[in-house]
């Protein structure tokens, strides 16, 4: 080749392939209240956020975004290591929240009282009436436990857990 030396062409080709491979590995971001993720394989706990707060964010950011910012229709309380979000119209229990340990958000949770705020596949999970329905939506769990009281379905590869207790459904996101 006359214009471009072969080694530069090879380096450019390797750089392009590496950037393409990196783009495929990046998970799709999922804001629980905005994005309409429909496929279970698109869910990655590291990319899930609750009103802009993701796992690993600092306590300062969590307090700033969830406690200090006003969220329409939601009452926010900080209790111990938890920042809890309550429905102002039906304050019977926290509907979502985060746990802060060692200065970082290490858990995000939502439950069936949060279903009306959630978009995508988790709206259907939170309104499910059976573990079969949840498995039909999310696929077979990595491991779990089912008994007369309910079920725990752990999707470890994607970093979340579904607790099904009859009419109560909880989803917990943790770093995998």
Give domain limits for the chain. 6-173
In this prediction the pTM is 0.80
Nearest-CA neighbor of 48 among 22, 69, 63, 27?
27
Residue 28 has pLDDT above 70, yes or no: no
For 64-73, what is the mean pLDDT? 91
> Residue 37 pLDDT > 50, yes or no?
yes
Specify the range with the lowest mean pLDDT, choosing from 45-54, 131-140, 143-152.
143-152
| 167 secondary structure, DSSP code | T
The model's pLDDT over 95-143, given as tens digits with 9 standing for 90+, comes to: 999 999 999 999 999 999 999 999 889 999 999 999 999 999 999 999 9
Give the confidence band of 89 by pLDDT, cuts at 50, 70, 90: confident
Determine the pLDDT at residue 2: 54
Q: Please provide the average confidence, as pLDDT, over all residues in the chain.
A: 84
* Nearest-angstrom CA–CA distance, 111 and 120: 14
Do residues 124 and 135 touch, judged by C-beta distance below 8 A?
no
Q: Does 11 have pLDDT greater than 50?
A: no
The more confident residue out of 170 and 30 is 170
Q: Please give the residue that has the higher pLDDT: either 18 or 32.
A: 32
């Amino acid at each position: 080749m006359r214009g471009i030396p072969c080694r530069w062409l090879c380096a450019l080709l390797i750089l392009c392939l590496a950037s393409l491979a990196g783009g495929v590995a990046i998970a799709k971001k999922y804001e629980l209240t905005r994005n309409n993720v429909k496929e279970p394989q698109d869910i990655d706990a590291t990319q899930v956020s609750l009103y802009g707060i993701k796992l690993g964010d600092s306590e300062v950011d969590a307090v700033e975004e969830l406690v200090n910012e006003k969220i329409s229709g939601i009452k926010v309380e900080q209790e111990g290591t938890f920042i809890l979000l309550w429905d102002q119209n039906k304050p019977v229990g926290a509907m979502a929240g985060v746990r802060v340990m060692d200065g970082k958000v290490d858990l995000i949770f939502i439950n069936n009282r949060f279903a009306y705020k959630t978009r995508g596949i988790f709206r259907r999970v939170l309104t499910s009436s059976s573990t079969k329905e949840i498995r039909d939506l999310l696929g077979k769990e990595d491991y779990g436990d089912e008994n007369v009281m309910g079920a725990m379905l752990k999707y470890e590869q994607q970093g979340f857990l579904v607790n099904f207790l009859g009419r109560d459904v909880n989803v917990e996101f943790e770093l995998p």
